[in-house]
Amino acid sequence: MPNVRSAQTDKVNFFGNATPRELAAKYGTPLYVYNENVLRRRCRELLGLSGLPGFQVNYSAKANTNPALLRIVREEGFHADAMSPGELHINKLAGFTSDLLLYVCNNVSAAEMKNAVDNGLLVSVDSLSQLDLYGTVNPGGKAMIRINPGIGAGHHKKVVTAGKETKFGIDPTAMDDVRALLKKHNLTLAGINQHIGSLFMEPDSYLNAIDFLLHFVQTDLADLFPSLELIDFGGGLGIPYHKYENQPRLDMEALGTRLHAKLSAWVDETGYKGKFFIEPGRYVTAECGVLLGTVYATKFNGENRYVGTDLGFNVLVRPAMYDSFHDIEIYRENGQPDADLVEQTVVGNICESGDILAKKRPLPLIREGDVLGVLDAGAYGFVMSSSYNQRPRAAEVLITSDGTPKLIRRRETLDDLTRCFVEEE
């Protein structure tokens, strides 16, 4: 079926047996559409990074918690993390048992830690103060600590999660304080983790951070090493958002070869018998998601051509929040490919001038009635959406392996918006 711009989704038969316009007509827009085959492919690439028996992939569920996707990720053999009671609840709903879950939290209450412990999860704490609190919740139990390795990486300063300018992790020089707290509460150090930031496209910063953690465990934590069951290197693996410019993918083969060699050598050297986790979120779910929206208006303000859609930052906040780039496709009834590009600013229907999805983007001329597809919207898309301006949140559809569309989250209603209001007497 010809379209104005659809080469990327055509390549992987993203919409299966339906066209994007049919999906938009049937389920309405804005609509998050996910593709099961793409999701499974990404899962298998990650599992293929190392064949070491202790190597596991721990899906960072914050990227997308729709249970239909979580079930697929679980079927593929992943573990998952949770960082809130809500994520823990939904992970369990999707069939993750406690042995497959890890609680990686930040600044939480004793009640929240207790909830995780009662559910049988190992809890990673990321400050001395939280370790002390954890000790009161689970005295004599197992503990895990998050280290701030001092090396950060990421696509935007808001997603760099290591180094002195972030709130995360325990300073590696504070291990005597950690020892004292472990002793105070009779805790056993069972795990250690780090996460340096999000979206690296070259493996070096990640591998350097792994070197740091392995070396740190071997030297600074030599006395605690025998009880360690889990070393978690965090996530951050990037995906190419600039697909129409042929941005190269992260070289998973090179990453796998180097990672596997490093971990194998370390196991041989130290006799470590525990698990290694990597903890990707974006790499798992970003590319399996396309966000569909409808164009309702076009206009010029001075020289600027604006394309008005239902894809405001209430639906996808990444462009407004991080200046993130998402490729856009254009689906039109009997549309023909169009190589003439015009600079256009694609905006939503929210009452803010920062409600911009794509700024001065060269694209084929977009018209009223077109359906747009925002690529790579499966991670940090729906989960970061809101009902700002009192717009109910979008529906989600999964294109299953055989190409059939299946509704996996209904569109919110006006009743959903008002459900929690308490009427005054």
The two three-digit tokens of residue 235, written as one number: 């996530």
CA distance 401 to 36: 6
Closest CA to 332 of 362, 357, 369: 369
Q: Does 63 bind ligand LLP (CB under 6 A)?
A: yes
CB 101 within 8 A of CB 70: no
Residue 233 or 331 having the CB closest to ligand LLP: 233
x/- map, 136-175, ligand LLP, by CB under 6 A: -----------------------x-x--------------
Shortest separation between residue 317's beta carbon and ligand LLP, angstroms:
8
| The one catalytic residue among 43, 105, 351, 420 | 351
Q: Which of 74, 195, 326, 393 binds ligand LLP (CB under 6 A)?
A: 195
Site string for ligand LLP, 97-116 (x = CB under 6 A): -------x------------
Smaller CB separation from ligand LLP, 224 or 250? 250
Least distance between ligand LLP and beta carbon 114 (Å): 21
Name the one range near ligand LLP by CB under 6 A: 266-274, 278-286, 345-353, 398-406. Answer: 278-286
Q: Is residue 236 part of the contact set for ligand LLP (CB under 6 A)?
A: yes
Q: Is residue 282 a contact residue for ligand LLP (CB under 6 A)?
A: yes
CA angle 153, 154, 157 (to 5 degrees): 100
Judged by CB under 6 A, the stretch of 1-9, 10-18, 235-243, 394-402 that binds ligand LLP is 235-243
- Reduced DSSP (H G I as helix, E B as strand, rest coil) percent helix, strand, coil of the chain, to 5: 35, 25, 40
CA 28 to chain centre: 25
Which amino acid, one-letter code, is at 340? D
Residues in region 302-361 near ligand LLP by CB under 6 A: 318, 322
Least distance between ligand LLP and beta carbon 264 (Å)? 23
CA 311/CA 307 separation, integer angstroms: 11
Q: Based on C-alpha coordinates, what's the Rg of the chain? A: 23
Question: How far apart are CB 143 and ligand LLP at their closest, in Å?
Answer: 16
Within residues 43-62, the interface with ligand LLP by CB under 6 A covers: 60, 62
| Distance in Å, CB of 188 to ligand LLP, minimum | 22
Torsion angle, alpha carbons of 216, 219, 221, 223, to 10? 170
How far apart, in Å, are the Cα atoms of 388 and each of 136, 269, 405, 413? 39, 54, 28, 14
Single residue of 346, 380, 394, 405 touching ligand LLP by CB under 6 A: 380
CA–CA separation, 67 and 135 (whole Å): 32
Q: Which residues contact 206 (CB under 8 A, 6 or more apart)?
A: 153, 196, 200, 233, 236, 237, 255
Pick from 281, 289, 308, 373 the residue near ligand LLP by CB under 6 A. Answer: 281
Options 235, 308, 319, 335; binder of ligand LLP; rule CB under 6 A: 235
- Contact pick of 30, 191, 280, 319 for ligand LLP (by CB under 6 A): 280
* CA distances from residue 31 to 23, 154, 409 in whole angstroms, order as listed: 8, 28, 10
For the question of residue 351 being annotated catalytic, the response is yes
Query: Number of residues in contact with ligand LLP, rule: CB under 6 A?
Result: 21
* Site membership for ligand LLP, residue 292 (CB under 6 A): no
Shortest reach from residue 330's CB to ligand LLP, in Å: 24
One-character DSSP codes across 304-346: EEEEEES--TTT--HHHHH-----EEEE-TT-------EEEEE
Alpha-carbon distance of 215 to 126, in angstroms, equals 19
Q: Return the active site residues.
A: 351
Residues that bind ligand LLP (CB under 6 A): 60, 62-63, 104, 159, 161, 195, 198-199, 234-237, 279-283, 318, 322, 380
